[in-house]
Amino acid sequence: MKNRKLLILSLITLAVILAASITAKLHAPQSTIAKQTLFPGLANQINDIIEISIKGDGRTVQLKKQGEIWVLESADNYPALFNKVRAMVINLAGLKIEEEKTGDPALYARLGVEDPESKDASSLLITLKTSGNEEAASIIAGKPRQSAGSRPGLYVRLPDQTRALLAEGMLDVSGNPADWFERNLFDIPSDFIKNVTIQYAEGNVFEIYKEQKEQIDFQPRGISGENSAVKIIMTRISRSMEEMRADGVHALDNFSFPEESITTTATTFDGLIVTAKTARIDNKAYARFTFAVDPSATREDSVTDEKESEDTADAFAGLTTDFKPDPVQEAHYLTETLSSWVYQIPDFKYEALTSNPGNLKKPTEISE
């Protein structure tokens, strides 16, 4: 009898342990449960990917690998941000299915996985191809998970499936071509500027200048500089070359400037000459930049060590402010990097590059 009671007690204990074990597994954190990789073979194909298409918001970004670099095929093969492209492919290969979501198309928009070509869609269709034009991955990327306490995740849907998924992982992707290239072109603070001349389409010219770098205010040539409106215009012009950024890009060979274009030339105290040819086309502002050196200018703090070429690139990308490269190397680097392209620039930069005090009053009528 005693042995029978012990047996029953042992069985009850075993049942409790099994039940607790099952309950623990059911409530275990999802990190302890194996998740299926969304694209199992992609991790082994990362170096084989040569084409990427991103469609959404009425635009298509076409990225293509040329040798060891990536270019924006949809922007005349302008160099793309290599690290950003590679990071996107790696992160895409690392996406894991966390759970299934809705299969109702009417609810897709809530998760951002609707057809990218549908009206007001926020989704992006990403397609990766290998050298043999083989599709390595295709996915509709939606909204990120909105839970602050959870691991990074986003909603996705495979184009040939109706069921949306919650995927664990991150995906930094954009349908804006400008997000895939280096938008910072150069940065020449107004303190460095010696003079700026603007030649307008009508043929007239406006110039501002400083005799010495230590001077605070610029002076206009040929008109009074005491007029408050003219002072505002001069300040705007003097800062026109600061933090120059691009919103779009076209190859120079594929772009035609209209006859009414405006040319702005800025010269620094150490001899760098920057010329911007600008125009507004279809309500968008464009500029082509060329660079030269004034041989008569001298610099007391000219740097000529072996690190100069490398530091020049950082300085004019706005990555450092404590280095002043030699103007000859500045001009060479900027010419090689920028002069074969026409950039769409922000409207406020176009206004600064083309400001005209003559639109306020005729020069002879501007009074103190």
How many domains, in total, are found in the chain?
A: 2
- Residue in the structure block whose two tokens are 């000859």: 328
| Helical H segments across the chain, by residue range | 2-26, 82-93, 108-111, 228-238, 308-316, 327-338, 347-353
pLDDT of residue 133: 86
pLDDT of residue 7: 44
227 and 93 together in one domain = no
DSSP β-bridge partners for residue 350: none
138 and 197 together in one domain = no
Among 133, 149, 175, the domain boundary falls at 175
273 and 324 together in one domain = yes
207 and 292 together in one domain = yes
**Do residues 198 and 262 lie in contact, with contact meaning Cβ atoms separated by under 8 Å?**
yes
pLDDT of residue 296: 81
162 and 194 together in one domain = no
163 and 206 together in one domain = no
Establish if 221 belongs to a structural domain. yes
pLDDT of residue 57: 86
230 and 124 together in one domain = no
Establish if 11 belongs to a structural domain. no
Q: Tell me the mean pLDDT per 10 residues along the chain, length 368.
A: 49 51 40 73 95 95 96 97 97 96 96 94 97 94 83 94 96 95 97 96 94 92 80 95 98 96 97 97 98 78 49 51 73 96 98 86 43
Among 155, 175, 195, the domain boundary falls at 175
Domain extent for 107: 33-175
CA distance 145 to 150: 8
CA distance 278 to 283: 13
pLDDT of residue 33: 43
**Do residues 287 and 278 lie in contact, with contact meaning Cβ atoms separated by under 8 Å?**
yes
38 and 98 together in one domain = yes
Among 175, 204, 221, the domain boundary falls at 175
Tokens at 329, concatenated: 């190397």
Establish if 1 belongs to a structural domain. no
222 and 325 together in one domain = yes
**Do residues 327 and 312 lie in contact, with contact meaning Cβ atoms separated by under 8 Å?**
no
Q: In what order do the strands lie in the sheet with 193-199?
A: 219-220, 205-209, 193-199, 262-268, 272-281, 284-293, 341-345, 248-251
Beta-carbon contacts of residue 131 (< 8 Å; ≥ 6 apart): 48, 50
CA distance 297 to 301: 12
158 and 238 together in one domain = no
